[in-house]
Structure 1
Amino acid sequence: MPKSIRKAAVIGSGVMGSGIAAHLANVGIETLLLDIIPASLLPEEEAANATLEDAKVRNRFASRAVEKLKKANPSPLYSPAFADRIQPGNVEDDLTKLGEVDWIIEVIVENLQAKQQLYSKIEQVWKPGTIVTSNTSGISIKEMAAHTSDEFKAHFLGTHFFNPPRYMKLLEVIPGEKTSPEISEFMKSFCEKTLGKGVVLAKDTPNFIANRIGTYGLLVTLKEMERSGLSVEEVDAVTGPAMGRPKSATFRTLDLVGLDTFVHVAQNVFDLLPDGSEKEVFTPPQILKQMAAKGWIGEKSGQGFFKKLKTAEGSEIQSLNFNTLDYAKSRKITSASLEASKNAKGTKEKLKALLNTPDQYSEFAWNILKQVLIYSAEKLGEIADNIVEIDHAMKWGFNWNLGPFETWDAIGLKRSVSKMESEGLTVPVWVKEWIEAGNESFYQWNDGKTFYYFRNEYKAVEEMPELISLQNLKKQNKIIRSNSGANLIDIGDGVACLEFASPNNAIGADILTMIQQSVDEVNRNYKGLVLANEGRNFCVGANIMLLLLEAQEEEWDEIDSIIRLFQNSMMKLRFAEKPVVAAPHKMTLGGGVEACLPADEIIFSAETYFGLVETGVGLIPAGGGCKELAMRLALSNDDPEADLQPQLNKLFETIAMAKVSTSGHDTQRLGYKRVQDRVVVNEDHRIYEAKKAVLRLADSAYVPQKPQKFRVAGDSGKAVLQLGAYGLRQGGYISDHDYLIAGKLAHVLAGGNVPAGTVVTEQYMLDLEREAFLSLCGEPKTQQRMQHMLTKGKPLRN
């Protein structure tokens, strides 16, 4: 068994194969991407006098797949440069190279015979000890390896990635009948720690865990829709956030997945199940077959359950009428139960509000939910050994907020089972026995640990040191300080974590006050501070609503006070006596970036979208963002006479155009990532890694940061920046207001109206930021931009 995987091979360069290869490249694994040899030349190859024997032709499928990876949006790669880690080839010329890799992943067509033939070829060049896995979404692991040796079988298993491999958290590891337990455990650990996946161990059954339950849920939804006569829009209104599911709900999800793919997955289960009621559920509905026959398979064909039309006013979303197969303009759906769910806070309360407010949508939600819960309970032991694997699979694979058994707990296990039975449903015996034994939930929190149902008793969830849960720590009364916007939490070993907890983690006075109090507390009693939270996003910026209200009331002194508080809080972080490490994730914008920049180190999650975006609302960064980046630029040059202008031009463009990184790695391209900053692939490990960094800094004679003086480009540098903006304005690329904002930004980044090379203080730069910000707040067009962002959720270019 390998101690690590340094080199891999992916066989099959389609969407999934190339996506898996891209993610392996993302984490630094050199990858061989192989596909079949083309049967004929393309016109352009003929024109170039190429032959079928030329290497470029023979590697065409894999080579083109790699090129597509560089251009795809959203990108499968953390950085386009990582594509260089993928070597294209073909299965005839390069098969012997499989003997040089540590992991072989098969991602070819979902056909048992084709896979068996490929494994026979692989085994001929296979190096004993090399792990071989299939990305199959439902074919039996046992059957695929049926004709291979026992030693090969011991190293063979399923690794089912969800699409797209970079972005989807779930990876199902499916051991075969003869897979070595050590190999299974190694792969589970490797895929969690190195690939950053949420791994569940699945049984070798049709469609494994997530697709088995997810497909069942979608099919019973379609059948219940047919019975109740609801429309596409109505079903999506019920089965989205109201039930703790993604906004794409049922039909937008099917359009994204593709009806052809979904029908194939459902058909796979249907074909493998014995006759009976379960098999009947997996019969693909007639409407799906009709749509597939017409080519209406979803987003990739331009239409499915929804289609987008261009109109004189812009665009219009239309939805399909199941009865007529015609499209009509989608309508907004509302009802008492949907409004009750919308107004409730948290998934559990939203779901209870939906179910407990009687109307047709509440009834629809209950009728599909009860079937999914019972089915999940029936499949326990068959598709997975425990409820945790099933709950994780549905949360990570289908983006449900709660898994089936968590959902059951949320709505009340005992009461809901009683209702199910009163309606004539058969609840699995083990569930009734569990309730009769006096248990009221599948999960239980006790003595600082989470316990779950396991074979008629509670078993503690395995604690992994890499998983630091702020939610659990709060349950253990580890909060040191708290206010309406933030919590300071003891995360152990003398380290505290500052957690933003306001709506969308937007920074207001409460968070700023807590930052200052937290630094004081840590200076006195702790080894260091971590900035992290478990919100959907790290921080979307400052509280724009507050700023807009103050600007509309012309409370300039109040705005000045807010900005001073922001700047002082960031400087407090910067000059803390103990180390500060920030661990941002997902959207980290505007003020969220400014909260990270003063930290001694930043531990980026791989999926961090990081950028100063204030120009989008008609402002410039004023919480120290401009100062911090201009200072870094100047201090990074060892030569005191070095020309700052080239780097300053790039910095100006990054902020003026509100550029946001496409990943944690991409922050380096935009100039945010320093030498000491790192990227963690598994987002769940970021707080642990940040804590480790704090302790390392604290144990190495930490020296606090000191105020700096640095050179600025001055009035001549400002003139260059303004000239560039003027050219864009003359070319019609930016508006007059954009040009005004650019001028203010140029003034700040260049250090104002001083001679080139002037040495300034940090406070001087902060004063420039604040003055420019205040003046822009008074601009009517800036206020229009702020209002538009608050109401529409997107920038206004006025």
Structure 2
Amino acid sequence: MTIIRKAAVIGSGVMGSGIAAHLANVGIPVLLLDIVPSQLLAQESAAGLTLDHPKVRNRFADQAIDKLKKTNPAPLYSEDFAARITAGNLEDDVSKLADVDWIIEVIVENLQAKQQLISRIEKVWKRGTIVSSNTSGISIHAMVESASDEFKRHFLGTHFFNPPRYMKLVEVIPNEATDPAIVAFMKDFCEKKLGKGVVQAKDTPNFIGNRIGTYGLLVTLREMIAGGYSVEEVDAVTGPAMGRPKSATFRTLDLVGLDTFVHVANNVFDLVTDPEEKDIFRSPELLKSMVEKGWIGEKQGQGFYKKVTSDAGKEIQSLNIATMEYAVSRKISSASLEAAKQAKGTVGKLKALLGAKDRYSDLAWNILKPVLLYSAEKLDEIADSIIEIDHALKWGFNWELGPFETWDAIGLKRSVERMESEGSTVPAWVKAWIDSGHDSFYENRGGQHFYYLKNEFKGIETRPEVISLQSLKQQNKVIRSNSGASLIDIGDGVACLEFHSPNNAIGADILTMIQQSADEVRSNYRGLVVANEGKNFCVGANVMLLLMEAQDGEWDEVDGIIRLFQNSMMKLKSLDKPVVAAPHKMTLGGGVEACMPADQTIFSAETYYGLVEVGVGLIPAGGGCKELALRASQAVRDPDVDLQPWINAIFETVAMAKVSTSGHDTKRLGYMRALDRVVVNPDHRIYEAKQAVLRLEASGYTPPVQEKIRVVGENGKAVMQIAAYTMRQGGYISEHDQLIANKLAHVLAGGNVPAGTMVTEQYMLDLEREAFLSLCGEIKTQQRMQYMLSKGKALRN
């Protein structure tokens, strides 16, 4: 039975160290190896070190590990996880490769160098150890041509996308002799242990993601040059309007590095034989010129864009490819782009963009058409099905829709007719599929999904670990629903409360559904999961509604909203069935408060969790302050032990609006409880929450009993307020910040009572509500709320 208990990564560059970090993230000890330096650094000489000293010999790996702790975005879920990585070098420590279960090669993209390294690995290789290459496109078979048959059976490609922590895609590429059992194991391991989306690719140049993605970028460059479009125009079209990331084309190229992109494109150019395909992968002179100038993107400070700092402040300039000079970037607008912006969903945006018939609509079509045709042409060559291609582009390039999903979205039959009318050659299998009466590559039959496979529809395999709320709703599993939330039957007697308001902001509709869900589950279900499939779990309460009521002086309405929020959370907390919350991505303010009543929280690894109300001039008032004070009181039950340090830590976290950098990081901020845990694969989050509900129910669940809270009182409040005063005097916070901090201190301390007083949860909720209402009446708070709504960031007034 194959088990990966320990791994080794060879190559400590950005990619190698990033892979090592992600292995460490999931609890796997890693040996990180690199070459031995040939020269001493000045500081090494000054310290009296020689080339033989271990600190010098391990320098490259040591430096990489140290850099992991400082890199932003962070490659590690927690800085502490760096301790799971051990530095070494390829001369002194190569024998240690016999002690690991998986060896990953991540050195320079050069076939000969990789072959030489693999030869060294095989000499110390322990039979049964899996060996893989992280190459982005070099032949897996060619790397092991000279290796033994047994080694070949254990060798494959595992191509991570950069950065490894954040990018979902891993391409698994067997060589001609790889043991199918090892391929199956690695696919399962990468999905379940590393949390990745896995596609199996064929051993062809650049595999799937980089083959199609690079083609698309090169087509875009050629269309820009041919059509006389500017950098800003192309990025305006090839971003969210087409279901692509905000970085669009040229910001993406700047992030990747133009030199890296040229290398990837050249790999296909050198290996394909078809003259037309070869010509497409020939790097344009524009790119070659920019690389020669060193204008390769963000790592050199300029590429297609450049950040410039002047007396007027910072500005973003873009490259004029005709003059090769930079100028201030201009905002692009048109009827087609505005129509796409107003449309709902990626399908709606694409249809609006392509249907507007202006020059930007033409640009979108002229970019999209060749990518769809190329994907269809290369299907059998690079992948076993359209699913692998669609997943590779969605997970590796952050497209909302893969090529074949896009074709369905714009109308397969209609778009093929247009392509042929323009003289394009459509692959015969696509025409045969249409001629057999089909107008899509995917089909949904009552929540059951099918896809094209070799001229027939095949059912998409469903796995128990992946619970799709969207599919369940299509199967009529909705128990209750309103405009903001739904209660869905997810099987085995468990219901799931799903938010689906705009941005999942919490308003009266969601709060009403929470109360109704508690009643429904109490009567008819074994327990409740609180989760959704939105871009973010919840970004907080409905600030727009609060601002409108505050500006109109409708204080009874504001008071009613807060009471409804508090009462809903308390009803959820007192439910006599287990409740498990499963937040993901941004979970802020009211989103955190919606998780706090749960008996257990299953965090997604990528959960950015925090009470951030001070950013809009308020304090948490949906039970957040009360819950944190309660947890502190429960942690320090001995009345002789000082509670103040715990409350001070909470005060600092909330007053500074600290947000976790991962699910694991919630522990550092004091949000994670002993029973809470983290799930790495976000697709398994709802399933794991459901299993947690069933475990709690099976263990004889009893709801938590309300208990009184020990507070630090008036003296403790003074300690926190002095800290805020000091910050104000030092110029670190504004006068309004200090006012908010004083209100927060009053609530967390339990008000003007003696230290050690035991108070009720309702008493603390009343303090929250009073402070919240008073802050809503402040003009500067209303300004902060308005600024957040219009600018999407905090105002420090």
Partner of 1:438: 437
Q: Which SS does the other structure have where 1:669 is aligned?
A: coil
User: 1:313-328 residue pairs with structure 2 within 5 A?
Assistant: 313-328=312-327
User: 1:38-187 residue pairs with structure 2 within 5 A?
Assistant: 38-187=37-186
User: 1:120-519 residue pairs with structure 2 within 5 A?
Assistant: 120-519=119-518
Counterpart AA for 2:208: I
- Equivalents in 1 of 2:500, 2:311: separation in Å? 43
1:351-402 Cα deviation digits (max 9, x unpaired): 0111111111111111111100000000101110000000000000000000
Counterpart AA for 2:333: T
Query: What is the deviation of 1:700?
Result: 1.3
Q: Which SS does the other structure have where 2:700 is aligned?
A: coil
Q: Which SS does the other structure have where 2:382 is aligned?
A: coil
- Equivalents in 1 of 2:752, 2:274: separation in Å? 82
- Equivalents in 1 of 2:642, 2:545: separation in Å? 40
Counterpart AA for 1:156: F
Q: Given that residues 58 and 89 in structure 2 are in contact (C-alpha distance below 8 angstroms), is that contact kept between their aligned partners in structure 1?
A: yes
Q: Which SS does the other structure have where 2:36 is aligned?
A: coil
Q: Given that residues 306 and 316 in structure 2 are in contact (C-alpha distance below 8 angstroms), is that contact kept between their aligned partners in structure 1?
A: yes
Counterpart AA for 1:166: R
- Equivalents in 2 of 1:140, 1:397: separation in Å? 19
- Equivalents in 2 of 1:102, 1:547: separation in Å? 56
- Equivalents in 2 of 1:719, 1:531: separation in Å? 38
Change (3 A) 1:430 1:275: closer
- Equivalents in 2 of 1:582, 1:221: separation in Å? 43
Percent identity reads 75
RMSD: 0.7
2:639 aligned with 1:640, yes or no?
yes
Query: What is the deviation of 1:638?
Result: 3.3
Point out the more displaced range, 702-711 or 80-89.
Answer: 702-711
1:239-270 Cα deviation digits (max 9, x unpaired): 11111101111011101111011000001100
Q: Which SS does the other structure have where 2:31 is aligned?
A: strand
Q: Which SS does the other structure have where 2:16 is aligned?
A: helix
Find runs of 4+ consecutive structure 1 residues off by over 4 angstroms: none
Partner of 1:520: 519
Q: Which SS does the other structure have where 2:176 is aligned?
A: coil
- Equivalents in 2 of 1:154, 1:730: separation in Å? 68
Q: Which SS does the other structure have where 2:184 is aligned?
A: helix
Counterpart AA for 1:174: I
1:604-640 Cα deviation digits (max 9, x unpaired): 0000000000001100000000000000000112313
- Equivalents in 2 of 1:642, 1:580: separation in Å? 32
- Equivalents in 2 of 1:638, 1:564: separation in Å? 29
Counterpart AA for 2:705: K
Taking structure 1 as the reference length, the TM-score comes to 0.99
Counterpart AA for 2:69: K
Q: Which SS does the other structure have where 1:167 is aligned?
A: coil
- Equivalents in 2 of 1:223, 1:87: separation in Å? 46
Counterpart AA for 1:737: H
Tell me how many residue pairs correspond in the alignment.
Answer: 797
- Equivalents in 2 of 1:495, 1:275: separation in Å? 56
1:111-132 Cα deviation digits (max 9, x unpaired): 1111111111111110000000
- Equivalents in 2 of 1:710, 1:619: separation in Å? 23
Query: What is the deviation of 1:580?
Result: 0.5
Partner of 1:768: 767
1:561-586 Cα deviation digits (max 9, x unpaired): 00000000111111111110000000
Counterpart AA for 2:18: G
Query: What is the deviation of 1:677?
Result: 0.1
Query: What is the deviation of 1:275?
Result: 4.2
User: 1:542-561 residue pairs with structure 2 within 5 A?
Assistant: 542-561=541-560
2:710 aligned with 1:711, yes or no?
yes
- Equivalents in 2 of 1:44, 1:434: separation in Å? 67
Query: What is the deviation of 1:449?
Result: 1.3
Partner of 1:744: 743
Please, which runs of 5 or more residues in structure 2 have no aligned partner?
A: none
- Equivalents in 1 of 2:358, 2:70: separation in Å? 48
- Equivalents in 1 of 2:445, 2:502: separation in Å? 29
Partner of 2:530: 531
- Equivalents in 2 of 1:660, 1:375: separation in Å? 43
Query: What is the deviation of 1:749?
Result: 0.2
1:297-317 Cα deviation digits (max 9, x unpaired): 111111111111123332111
Q: Given that residues 446 and 474 in structure 2 are in contact (C-alpha distance below 8 angstroms), is that contact kept between their aligned partners in structure 1?
A: no
- Equivalents in 2 of 1:506, 1:174: separation in Å? 42
- Equivalents in 2 of 1:487, 1:468: separation in Å? 15
Q: Which SS does the other structure have where 1:310 is aligned?
A: strand
Q: Given that residues 132 and 157 in structure 2 are in contact (C-alpha distance below 8 angstroms), is that contact kept between their aligned partners in structure 1?
A: yes
Counterpart AA for 2:619: I
Q: Which SS does the other structure have where 1:371 is aligned?
A: helix
Counterpart AA for 1:347: T
- Equivalents in 2 of 1:108, 1:364: separation in Å? 38
- Equivalents in 2 of 1:175, 1:282: separation in Å? 25
- Equivalents in 2 of 1:614, 1:340: separation in Å? 34
Q: Which SS does the other structure have where 1:71 is aligned?
A: coil
Q: Which SS does the other structure have where 1:450 is aligned?
A: strand
Counterpart AA for 1:503: P
Query: What is the deviation of 1:705?
Result: 1.7
Counterpart AA for 1:618: G
Query: What is the deviation of 1:447?
Result: 4.3
Counterpart AA for 1:772: A
Partner of 1:13: 12
Q: Given that residues 623 and 768 in structure 2 are in contact (C-alpha distance below 8 angstroms), is that contact kept between their aligned partners in structure 1?
A: yes
Counterpart AA for 1:400: W
User: 1:663-742 residue pairs with structure 2 within 5 A?
Assistant: 663-742=662-741
Q: Which SS does the other structure have where 1:382 is aligned?
A: helix
Query: What is the deviation of 1:704?
Result: 1.0
- Equivalents in 2 of 1:130, 1:552: separation in Å? 67
Partner of 1:605: 604
Query: What is the deviation of 1:706?
Result: 2.0
- Equivalents in 2 of 1:707, 1:31: separation in Å? 45
Q: Which SS does the other structure have where 1:381 is aligned?
A: helix
Q: Which SS does the other structure have where 2:510 is aligned?
A: helix
Q: Given that residues 529 and 579 in structure 2 are in contact (C-alpha distance below 8 angstroms), is that contact kept between their aligned partners in structure 1?
A: yes
- Equivalents in 1 of 2:310, 2:764: separation in Å? 48
- Equivalents in 2 of 1:354, 1:710: separation in Å? 57
